[in-house]
Amino acid sequence: MNEGGGRGDGGARDDFFSEAQELVDGLGRDLLMLDEMLKKGHVEPEIINDVFRGVHTLKGLSGLFGATRMAGLSHQLEDLLDELRLGRIDVDAGVLDLLFRAVSLYARILSSEKGEAEDPVHDVEQLLLALGHVSNRREGEGVGAVAQYELDPGLLGVLTEYEEHRLRANIQQGFALYRIRALFSLATIDTALDTVKANARPHGEIITYLPTGSGGDADSIELEILMASKASLGVLSKAIQTTGVSVEEVQRRALSHSIHATGLPNPPADAGAATPSISLHPAHPREAPPLRGGRSSAPAPLSDTPSLVASNVPSPATGAKTSARPGSGEMSLRSVSQTVRVDIRKLDRLMTIVGELAIVKTAIAKLTDRARSRFVETREFATELGRLNRSFERHLAQMQNGILEVRMVPLGQAFDKLARIVRQISREHSKEVNLVVTGAETEIDKLIVEELSDPLMHMIRNAIDHGIEARDDRLRVGKPVVGTIALNAFQKGNHVVIEVEDDGSGMDPKALTAAAIRRGVVTSDEAKELSQREVFALVFMPGFTTKEVATDLSGRGVGLDIVRTNIAKLGGVVDIMSDVGIGTKMTITLPITLAIINVLLVEIGGNPFAIPLASIEEAIVLDEGALRTIELREVLSVRGVSLPVCRLDRLFGFASADQRRGRSFVVIAQVGDRRMGLIVDELVGQQDIVIKPLGRTLSRVRGFAGATELGDQRVALVLDAAALIEEVLVPGETRFFGTADAGRS
Amino acid sequence: MAVLAKVRAAKRAAMRAGEAGTRTEYIAFGLAGETYAVPIGQLAEILRPPPITEVPRAPRAVIGVVSVRGRLVTVVDLRVRIRLPPASMDRRSRILLVDNGVEHVGFLVDDVQQVWRLAPEEIEASNVLGGDQAAHVAGIGRPAGFEGNVLILLDLRPLAESA
């Protein structure tokens, strides 16, 4: 279905995807805010306008790129949102569900456009059908309420349908109407009007403003501002104390008179929607009274109709956000934000260049040393060169940090999507769940955020699905009816920690072990040796995801092996702790960035390897005498604490493995709270490196996070400490994964 | 709108690319005494082997990784990859770099010989060799006027997908 003009031009299509994705994300955030407001019982009209604008922009964008399914869905949504905006339909949980469904469908359509997923034809059609039903469900509202006020029929005649709706809504809430007359000089009207608006805004909503056609001369103009407010006349006049401004309250008139005045009998209820616009638009040519089905295409909401003026007055709650976003009315023409959108690959390229420069820098330093030590006559020259090189080094480091900073984004980007998932899943399971997020501002590399969304979604799905108990069960054990899932993020040294904690039923270690033995994941002898941590880690085993286990253990572990694999790919680890009846906590520990890392260079079997310093605790000389073998596993006593060790030359199958003499070193690696000693032949030194991923051909080889170029054209493999620790320390089949082809030398 | 300008530029580029000769250039190389050839368009570059870093526990056909001007390249022994006996590297060994759309993959060959320009009628379909030929054998090249020169035409792209 991507028959559009974008085909064949990756750049333009990429722009489309990133722009559309941003819009869809924005919609999701707005809907969540709407959901909040709905729960509190007060919906800001501006938020619905935001959603409307987002959908409208998306429609235009998808039309441009021939994404017809997306454009069609947007069109129908726009109709519904227009009805909501004009108050013809009330916002309720059902309608909101449809909107949320639309947002998740947008995401699926986008990935099908990219060719990553199937086209969700069926789901789109179903949603369209449901949208059609709602759009037909109109309700009559406070007909005639407006007519009770002493408002100038001329003014009422030029109100747009939206303004009219706001007027009615405010009257229904019992707010008083005020008429503000203000004389503005033409030279300063922009700023002066803004001042009046800003002063008035805290007290209520400005419905509309119009020139009065009197009181002005060639250099000035008088405006009449219609405003609804719960403040008294005194308070309001005081707030808008500017010269040339008068405030008066619009009085009610007698009811019988009002009906007589509009010349219409009280309308029957079923004609309610159409009637007010007839009675209030006696001869208004601009807008034909829309009937069932809403707008066709013409009345563009973003054009300069007076409705914009009203919608452009941000309410205090949404103001800041609205003005920073594109598509918010007039502001979108001028660029409000100072940001530039950059493809992450461009940053990767810059980062690579910085890395190459670092290599050059190392080479120059070596040359300088040579010039200094060998020849007396070049010593002065070498000193000069050395000074220049240090300055180069300093600036390079600044540039490196600058690029790294640009790559960092708040984790909130991933968390926003999760809040949507929580809402959706908890409604599916009819469980009430409250998501409590802390540390959304914690920053992490953009690439990591992208890769985190799915694992986090799996974890949260599990927590709701199987952790949080059904309502009755919670009541029985005296827990609050509403379950809580806490999503906490914080930085810890060079790592970012993310915790997903639920207050659900927890997991029983005995039941877990029993199931693991039954599934053949461990033998009963092995099971006896497992520590509690290892027992919980069993849920990450691939074999642990079947139905049979699911019924016994309330299904914990669905898809969790995927979580562990994905986190491991990012150089992180997942840990899990649980208390029966109290809840479960899963902890992800991740490196902050993937791009540049500080490593310890070592040599194993004559080959250079790099170990990220972030995962190193210390490096010591190996004392062979302190080695013990416990259950076929070598353990070293370090200052009275046992440390499992791994001989990397043996693990990697290097030929020289068993004939080496001389001293070796132990690099003590720590990831999360697991520790292991890696035995290496030589310690070479520290270096900053640009880590590059191994190619696809090598993606199944375990134990390496990537590779890096050293100054001398050689390539060193970067050890993935987390994967090695996992491989060596965690029991089960993972130990042999990827080693089937080993032994080549 | 910048997006539209890009679309137009892409269309213009596509139109320009319409004209090309009917002959295809193949580059010929040796493997275990036979002559093989690949369309020159499949190659990004031909390299003398730099020092290669061995990757422990890699698939058998993978020799290791090298850095080509800052780009990490996996080097595959093409002999092993297409099930010929392996051989050690010497002065004439070369690495053929292939871009598989995601990354560059290097194939080690015994030597690189010459370029052949083959017309369609000089290429026999691969099924002359019998029933099931592997996907990477694209056909047999018999350059007219050079009887006795038989080129086994390879498609390196499927080989660059995995090892």
Q: Is A115 left (phi over 0), alpha (psi -120 to 50) or beta?
A: left
- Residues of A with Cβ-Cβ distance to B163 under 8 angstroms: 697
The b-or-e profile of A122-131 (16+ CB within 10 A means b, else e) is eebeebbebb
pLDDT band at B9 (very low <50, low <70, confident <90, very high): low
Q: Do A654 and B56 touch (CB under 8 A)?
A: yes
Task: Read off the amino acid at residue B120.
Answer: P
Question: What's the pTM value of the predicted model, to 2 decimals?
Answer: 0.44
Q: Which among A715, A718, A737 is the top mutation candidate for probing chain B, defined by the most B β-carbons within 10 Å of its own β-carbon? A: A715
Task: Kindly give, in sequence order, each residue whose CB lies less than 8 Å from that of residue A364, ignoring residues fewer than 6 positions away.
Answer: A385, A389, A392
HSE toward the beta carbon, residue A726, CA cutoff 13 A: 27
Interface size, chain A vs chain B, as Cβ–Cβ contacts under 8 Å: 111
**Cα nearest neighbour of B57 on chain A:** A742
Q: A706: nearest CA in chain B?
A: B72
Could you tell me which residues are beta bridge partners of residue A667? Answer: A619, A678
Return the pLDDT at A737: 36
Which residues does chain B have within 8 Å of residue A697's beta carbon, measured at their own beta carbons? Answer: 58-59, 62, 74, 76, 105, 162-163
Contact B65 A698 (CB under 8 A): yes
Question: Which helix (H) or strand (E) segment is A548 a member of?
Answer: helix A547-552
Kindly give the pairing relationship between strand B43-47 and strand B94-99: antiparallel
List of chain A residues with pLDDT < 70: 1-12, 64, 135-148, 152-158, 213-218, 242-243, 253-338, 493-494, 542-559, 571, 593-596, 656-661, 711-712, 730-745
Give the residue ranges of DSSP H helices in A408-518: 412-428, 446-462, 471-476, 509-518
Torsions phi, psi for A282 (to 5 deg): -60, -45
Distance CA A138, CA A560 (A): 46
pLDDT value of position A153: 63
In three-state secondary structure terms, A211 is strand
pLDDT at residue number A300: 39
**Token digits of residue A602:** 């070592």
CA distances from A532 to A468, A537, A554 (A): 22, 9, 19
| A389 Cβ contact list (under 8 Å, min separation 6) | A361, A364, A365, A368
Q: To which CATH superfamily is domain B22-161 assigned?
A: CheA-289, Domain 4 (2.40.50.180)
Kindly state the tokens that stand for A210: 């119009």
- The whole-angstrom distance between residue B29's C-alpha and the CA centroid of its chain comes to 10
pLDDT (tens digit per residue) in B78-109: 999 988 898 888 999 999 999 887 788 999 99
- Tell me which residue has tokens 């699911």: A550
Closest residue of B to A738, CA-based? B57
**In Å, what is the CA distance from B63 to each residue of A482, B21, B75?**
58, 37, 6
The domain limits of chain B are 22-161
Q: Is B51 within 8 Å of A742 when comparing Cβ atoms? A: no
pLDDT digits (tens, 9 = 90+) for B118-140: 888 888 887 766 655 577 888 88
> What's the gap between Cα A155 and its chain centre?
45
The pLDDT tens digits for B56-86 are 999 989 999 998 876 789 999 999 998 889 8
The span from the CA of A134 to the CA of A333, in Å, is: 34
Query: Chain A: residue nearest B101 by CA?
Result: A696
Percent of chain B residues past pLDDT 90, beyond the cut = 39
- Closest Cα of chain B to A624: distance in Å? 25
List the structure tokens of A488. 């906490």
Q: Mutation target for A interface from B4, B48, B55, B78: give the one with most A CBs within 10 A.
A: B55
Say what the pLDDT of residue A668 is: 94
Q: Which residues of B touch A (CB under 8 A)?
A: 2-4, 6-7, 9-11, 14, 50-51, 53-60, 62, 64-67, 70-74, 76, 100, 102-103, 105, 161-163
Chain A interface residues (partner B, CB cutoff 8 A): 5-6, 8-9, 11-12, 15-16, 64, 352, 355-356, 607-608, 651-654, 692-698, 701-704, 706-707, 709, 713-717, 738-739, 741-742, 744
Helix (H) or strand (E) holding A59: helix A45-64
pLDDT in tens, A214-262: 666 667 777 788 888 888 888 878 777 766 777 888 777 654 443 333 3
What is the secondary structure of A295-356 as a DSSP string? --S-S-TTSSSHHHHHHTS--TTTHHHHHTSTTSGGGGTS--S------HHHHHHHHHHHHH
Q: Which of B6, B7, B57 faces A738 most closely, judged by CB atoms?
A: B57
Long-range pairs of B70-73 with CB within 8 A, sequence gap ≥ 24: B70/A352, B70/A355, B70/A356, B70/A709, B71/A692, B71/B104, B72/A692, B72/A693, B72/A694, B72/A695, B72/A706, B72/A707, B72/A709, B72/A715, B72/B103, B73/A695, B73/B97, B73/B103, B73/B104, B73/B105, B73/B106
Strands A682-690, A704-709: pairing kind: unpaired
The amino acid occupying position A370 is: R
User: What separation in angstroms does the CA of A45 have from each of A163, A191, A244?
Assistant: 11, 25, 30
